Structure 1
Amino acid sequence: MPYSSTRQLPDSIRHVLPAHAQTIYEKAFNSAWDQYQDKDDWRGDDSREKVAHKVAWAAVKKDYQKGDDNKWHRKH
């Protein structure tokens, strides 16, 4: 279930992340989706989709952090 655009991302992601972070999320999710086709590559009992979401969030957190205002901001 890769995403063909950021418009397809879940509302819970689109409504909290800035546009650039959404792009990072989409690309990381799609890459992880392709990479973790084989269940032997997954950690624990998580589904392929859950693994891909975890990877995507990790990618976003490399460049963005949640501020005191509870919004995501690019790291300096």
Structure 2
Amino acid sequence: MPYRSNSELPSGARHHLPPHALDIYREAFNHSFASHAGDLRQEEIAHRTAWAAVKRSYVKRGDQWIPKWPDA
């Protein structure tokens, strides 16, 4: 199921990611979900893709996700 807003995202993402990372997660999830229509693992693939997209721009330090490039 595509997410219309960040408030609908899974709690694991909502409670840990900063706002910009949530935007990345939601957009990547929705794109991947649409791209894998009909696949039995559609939702799993979309979540994995979304986390991978976040990890391209953010890194987890301790309990916080911080931008890899703070000036970006």
Say whether the fold is shared (TM-score over 0.5).
yes
Displacement after TM superposition at 1:53 (Å): 0.1
User: Amino acid of the residue matched to residue 53 of structure 1?
Assistant: H
Q: Identify the match of residue 75 of structure 1 among 65, 68, 72.
A: 68
TM-score of the pair, normalised by structure 1:
0.85
Would you say 1:25 and 2:19 are equivalent positions?
Answer: no
The answer to whether residue 54 in structure 2 is matched with residue 60 in structure 1 is yes
Alignment RMSD (CA, Å): 1.1
Does the residue aligned with 2:4 lie in a helix, a strand or coil? coil
- CA offsets 1:25-58 (integer angstroms, 9 cap, x no match): 000000000001142xxxxxx7210000000000
Aligned-pair CA distance for 1:12:
1.1
Structure 1 segments (4+ residues) deviating >6 Å: none
Which amino acid is the alignment partner of residue 31 of structure 1? H
Aligned residues: 69
Alpha-carbon distance in 1 for matches of 2:29, 2:67 = 19
- TM-score (normalizing by structure 2): 0.90
What stretches of structure 2 of length at least 5 have no aligned partner? none
| Separation in 2, partners of 1:15, 1:70 | 11
In 2, Cα distance between equivalents of 1:52 and 1:10 = 12
